Protein backbone atom coordinates (compact mmCIF):
# COMPACT_ATOMS: atom_id res chain seq x y z
CA UNK A 1 0.00 0.00 0.00
CA UNK A 2 1.11 3.53 -0.70
CA UNK A 3 1.25 6.47 1.66
CA UNK A 4 1.89 10.04 0.65
CA UNK A 5 3.21 12.84 2.85
CA UNK A 6 2.99 16.52 2.08
CA UNK A 7 3.92 19.52 4.18
CA UNK A 8 0.92 19.23 6.52
CA UNK A 9 -0.85 16.04 5.47
CA UNK A 10 -0.59 12.27 5.41
CA UNK A 11 -2.60 10.35 2.83
CA UNK A 12 -3.01 6.73 3.91
CA UNK A 13 -5.21 3.79 3.06
CA UNK A 14 -8.63 3.67 4.66
CA UNK A 15 -9.12 1.22 7.53
CA UNK A 16 -12.42 -0.28 8.73
CA UNK A 17 -12.01 1.72 11.96
CA UNK A 18 -12.32 5.00 10.00
CA UNK A 19 -15.99 4.35 9.27
CA UNK A 20 -17.68 6.42 12.00
CA UNK A 21 -15.41 9.43 11.54
CA UNK A 22 -15.67 9.20 7.75
CA UNK A 23 -19.47 9.21 7.99
CA UNK A 24 -19.54 12.12 10.44
CA UNK A 25 -17.03 14.21 8.49
CA UNK A 26 -18.09 13.59 4.88
CA UNK A 27 -21.07 11.40 3.94
CA UNK A 28 -23.33 12.37 6.84
CA UNK A 29 -22.89 16.14 6.39
CA UNK A 30 -25.39 17.91 4.11
CA UNK A 31 -23.04 20.81 3.30
CA UNK A 32 -20.18 18.53 2.30
CA UNK A 33 -22.55 16.32 0.27
CA UNK A 34 -24.20 19.18 -1.63
CA UNK A 35 -22.06 18.71 -4.75
CA UNK A 36 -21.12 15.05 -4.31
CA UNK A 37 -23.02 12.29 -6.17
CA UNK A 38 -26.55 12.04 -4.76
CA UNK A 39 -26.41 15.58 -3.37
CA UNK A 40 -27.46 14.65 0.15
CA UNK A 41 -26.25 12.68 3.19
CA UNK A 42 -26.12 8.91 2.82
CA UNK A 43 -26.68 6.12 5.33
CA UNK A 44 -23.58 4.71 6.98
CA UNK A 45 -24.05 1.35 5.19
CA UNK A 46 -23.23 3.04 1.89
CA UNK A 47 -20.22 4.72 3.44
CA UNK A 48 -19.01 1.26 4.51
CA UNK A 49 -19.34 0.11 0.88
CA UNK A 50 -17.39 3.14 -0.35
CA UNK A 51 -14.65 2.61 2.24
CA UNK A 52 -14.32 -1.07 1.30
CA UNK A 53 -14.33 -0.15 -2.39
CA UNK A 54 -11.42 2.26 -1.82
CA UNK A 55 -9.46 -0.43 0.07
CA UNK A 56 -10.01 -2.92 -2.80
CA UNK A 57 -9.24 -0.29 -5.44
CA UNK A 58 -5.76 0.17 -3.98
CA UNK A 59 -5.14 -3.58 -3.81
CA UNK A 60 -6.14 -3.89 -7.46
CA UNK A 61 -4.57 -0.77 -8.98
CA UNK A 62 -1.92 0.55 -6.56
CA UNK A 63 -3.70 3.85 -6.08
CA UNK A 64 -7.04 4.90 -4.65
CA UNK A 65 -8.90 7.57 -2.77
CA UNK A 66 -6.95 7.81 0.48
CA UNK A 67 -7.89 9.04 3.95
CA UNK A 68 -6.27 12.43 4.60
CA UNK A 69 -5.06 13.10 8.12
CA UNK A 70 -3.38 16.10 9.70
CA UNK A 71 0.26 15.09 10.29
CA UNK A 72 0.54 17.24 13.41
CA UNK A 73 -2.65 16.20 15.22
CA UNK A 74 -3.63 12.92 13.55
CA UNK A 75 -7.12 14.35 12.91
CA UNK A 76 -9.09 12.85 10.02
CA UNK A 77 -9.74 15.70 7.58
CA UNK A 78 -11.32 14.05 4.53
CA UNK A 79 -10.42 12.05 1.46
CA UNK A 80 -8.39 12.67 -1.66
CA UNK A 81 -7.10 10.42 -4.37
CA UNK A 82 -7.35 8.74 -7.73
CA UNK A 83 -10.11 6.41 -8.79
CA UNK A 84 -11.25 4.83 -12.05
CA UNK A 85 -14.40 6.35 -13.48
CA UNK A 86 -17.31 4.05 -14.36
CA UNK A 87 -15.72 3.14 -17.67
CA UNK A 88 -12.67 1.57 -15.92
CA UNK A 89 -10.40 3.33 -18.43
CA UNK A 90 -10.15 6.92 -17.25
CA UNK A 91 -8.97 8.00 -13.81
CA UNK A 92 -10.37 10.98 -11.94
CA UNK A 93 -8.99 12.89 -9.00
CA UNK A 94 -11.50 13.16 -6.17
CA UNK A 95 -11.46 15.16 -2.94
CA UNK A 96 -13.77 16.09 -0.08
CA UNK A 97 -12.90 17.62 3.26
CA UNK A 98 -14.86 18.17 6.46
CA UNK A 99 -16.48 21.58 6.61
CA UNK A 100 -14.37 22.61 9.60
CA UNK A 101 -11.28 22.24 7.41
CA UNK A 102 -12.33 24.22 4.33
CA UNK A 103 -10.43 27.29 3.19
CA UNK A 104 -7.01 26.26 4.50
CA UNK A 105 -5.60 24.96 1.24
CA UNK A 106 -5.78 21.31 2.32
CA UNK A 107 -7.53 20.12 -0.87
CA UNK A 108 -4.98 21.64 -3.27
CA UNK A 109 -2.09 20.39 -1.12
CA UNK A 110 -3.43 16.83 -1.11
CA UNK A 111 -4.60 16.89 -4.74
CA UNK A 112 -1.27 18.20 -6.04
CA UNK A 113 0.45 15.26 -4.35
CA UNK A 114 -2.08 12.81 -5.81
CA UNK A 115 -1.46 14.10 -9.34
CA UNK A 116 2.26 13.65 -8.77
CA UNK A 117 1.76 10.11 -7.47
CA UNK A 118 -0.53 9.33 -10.41
CA UNK A 119 2.00 10.48 -12.98
CA UNK A 120 5.30 9.44 -11.34
CA UNK A 121 4.50 6.34 -9.28
CA UNK A 122 1.45 4.97 -11.11
CA UNK A 123 2.49 6.09 -14.61
CA UNK A 124 -0.96 7.32 -15.64
CA UNK A 125 -1.00 9.17 -18.98
CA UNK A 126 -3.68 11.63 -17.92
CA UNK A 127 -6.01 12.37 -15.01
CA UNK A 128 -9.48 13.93 -15.17
CA UNK A 129 -11.50 15.97 -12.69
CA UNK A 130 -15.23 16.68 -12.84
CA UNK A 131 -17.51 18.93 -10.81
CA UNK A 132 -21.00 20.35 -10.86
CA UNK A 133 -20.85 23.77 -12.55
CA UNK A 134 -22.03 25.44 -9.34
CA UNK A 135 -19.17 23.92 -7.34
CA UNK A 136 -16.78 26.82 -7.76
CA UNK A 137 -14.60 25.84 -4.79
CA UNK A 138 -13.83 22.51 -6.42
CA UNK A 139 -13.06 24.14 -9.77
CA UNK A 140 -10.77 26.56 -7.98
CA UNK A 141 -8.85 23.59 -6.60
CA UNK A 142 -8.50 22.15 -10.12
CA UNK A 143 -7.15 25.47 -11.35
CA UNK A 144 -4.75 25.82 -8.42
CA UNK A 145 -3.21 22.41 -9.09
CA UNK A 146 -2.67 23.27 -12.75
CA UNK A 147 -5.42 21.25 -14.42
CA UNK A 148 -6.81 22.52 -17.73
CA UNK A 149 -10.47 23.35 -18.37
CA UNK A 150 -11.90 21.13 -21.13
CA UNK A 151 -15.54 22.32 -21.24
CA UNK A 152 -18.64 20.51 -20.04
CA UNK A 153 -19.53 16.86 -20.42
CA UNK A 154 -22.44 14.51 -19.71
CA UNK A 155 -20.30 11.37 -19.98
CA UNK A 156 -19.97 10.77 -16.22
CA UNK A 157 -22.35 10.40 -13.25
CA UNK A 158 -25.43 11.01 -15.46
CA UNK A 159 -25.02 14.76 -15.05
CA UNK A 160 -23.78 17.80 -16.93
CA UNK A 161 -20.38 18.47 -15.34
CA UNK A 162 -17.39 20.68 -15.96
CA UNK A 163 -14.34 18.72 -17.00
CA UNK A 164 -10.68 19.46 -16.26
CA UNK A 165 -7.67 17.34 -17.14
CA UNK A 166 -3.94 17.08 -16.62
CA UNK A 167 -1.56 15.06 -18.79
CA UNK A 168 1.73 13.51 -17.77
CA UNK A 169 3.51 15.02 -20.78
CA UNK A 170 2.57 18.59 -19.92
CA UNK A 171 2.80 18.25 -16.14
CA UNK A 172 5.72 19.50 -14.01
CA UNK A 173 6.18 18.73 -10.30
CA UNK A 174 6.54 21.80 -8.09
CA UNK A 175 8.90 22.14 -5.14
CA UNK A 176 6.35 21.52 -2.39
CA UNK A 177 7.24 18.78 0.13
CA UNK A 178 6.25 15.35 -1.18
CA UNK A 179 7.16 11.84 -0.11
CA UNK A 180 5.60 8.62 -1.32
CA UNK A 181 6.36 5.31 0.34
CA UNK A 182 5.19 1.72 0.15
CA UNK A 183 3.89 0.38 3.43
CA UNK A 184 2.92 -3.21 4.24
C1 LIG B 1 -14.10 21.71 -2.72
C2 LIG B 1 -13.24 21.54 -1.48
C3 LIG B 1 -12.57 20.16 -1.54
C4 LIG B 1 -12.18 22.63 -1.43
O5 LIG B 1 -11.27 22.32 -0.39
P6 LIG B 1 -10.45 23.42 0.42
O7 LIG B 1 -9.40 22.69 1.18
O8 LIG B 1 -11.39 24.28 1.18
O9 LIG B 1 -9.80 24.27 -0.76
P10 LIG B 1 -9.14 25.73 -0.64
O11 LIG B 1 -8.66 25.96 0.76
O12 LIG B 1 -8.19 25.84 -1.77
O13 LIG B 1 -10.33 26.74 -0.86
C14 LIG B 1 -11.15 26.66 -1.96
C15 LIG B 1 -10.89 27.78 -2.98
O16 LIG B 1 -12.14 27.99 -3.64
C17 LIG B 1 -12.59 29.32 -3.40
N18 LIG B 1 -14.02 29.27 -3.17
C19 LIG B 1 -14.69 28.68 -2.16
N20 LIG B 1 -16.01 28.86 -2.31
C21 LIG B 1 -16.16 29.58 -3.45
C22 LIG B 1 -17.28 30.09 -4.13
N23 LIG B 1 -18.52 29.87 -3.69
N24 LIG B 1 -17.08 30.80 -5.26
C25 LIG B 1 -15.84 31.01 -5.74
N26 LIG B 1 -14.73 30.54 -5.14
C27 LIG B 1 -14.90 29.83 -4.00
C28 LIG B 1 -11.83 29.78 -2.17
O29 LIG B 1 -11.77 31.20 -2.15
C30 LIG B 1 -10.49 29.12 -2.40
O31 LIG B 1 -9.76 29.78 -3.43
P32 LIG B 1 -8.57 30.83 -3.11
O33 LIG B 1 -7.56 30.08 -2.28
O34 LIG B 1 -8.05 31.21 -4.44
O35 LIG B 1 -9.20 31.95 -2.35
C36 LIG B 1 -14.10 21.62 -0.19
O37 LIG B 1 -14.86 22.80 -0.24
C38 LIG B 1 -15.04 20.43 -0.01
O39 LIG B 1 -14.65 19.41 0.55
N40 LIG B 1 -16.29 20.56 -0.49
C41 LIG B 1 -17.28 19.50 -0.36
C42 LIG B 1 -16.96 18.28 -1.20
C43 LIG B 1 -16.78 18.62 -2.67
O44 LIG B 1 -17.52 19.41 -3.22
N45 LIG B 1 -15.78 17.97 -3.30
C46 LIG B 1 -15.50 18.17 -4.71
C47 LIG B 1 -16.44 17.40 -5.56
S48 LIG B 1 -16.12 17.67 -7.29
Quote the CA–CA distance of 81 and 111 in Å, as a whole number: 7
Query: In this predicted model, what pLDDT tens digit does every residue of 133-175 receive, in sequence order?
Result: 999 999 999 999 999 999 999 999 999 999 999 999 999 999 9
Using alpha carbons, list the distances in angstroms from residue 125 to 29, 40, 141, 155.
34, 33, 21, 19
Residue 78 Cα to ligand 1 middle (Å): 13
Residue 142 Cα to ligand 1 middle (Å): 10
Substitution site in 7, 140, 159 for ligand 1 pocket (most atoms within 8 Å of beta carbon): 140
Please report the beta strands in 1-121, taking only residues with DSSP state E, as ranges in sequence order: 2-6, 9-12, 65-70, 76-84, 91-97
Residue 113 has pLDDT above 80, yes or no: yes
Residue 74 has pLDDT above 80, yes or no: yes
Query: In this predicted model, what pLDDT tens digit does every residue of 36-54 receive, in sequence order?
Result: 999 999 999 999 999 999 9
Q: CB burial class (10 A; 0-12, 13-18, 19+) of residue 160?
A: exposed
Mean model confidence pLDDT for the chain: 96
Contact 94, 83 (CB under 8 A): yes
- For residue 145, what pLDDT is reported? 97
Amino acid sequence: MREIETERLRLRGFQPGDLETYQATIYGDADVMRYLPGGQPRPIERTRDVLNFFIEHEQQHGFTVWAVVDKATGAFLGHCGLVYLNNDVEVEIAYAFGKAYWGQGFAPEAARACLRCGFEAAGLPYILAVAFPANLASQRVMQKIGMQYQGTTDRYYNAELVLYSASRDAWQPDSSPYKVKDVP
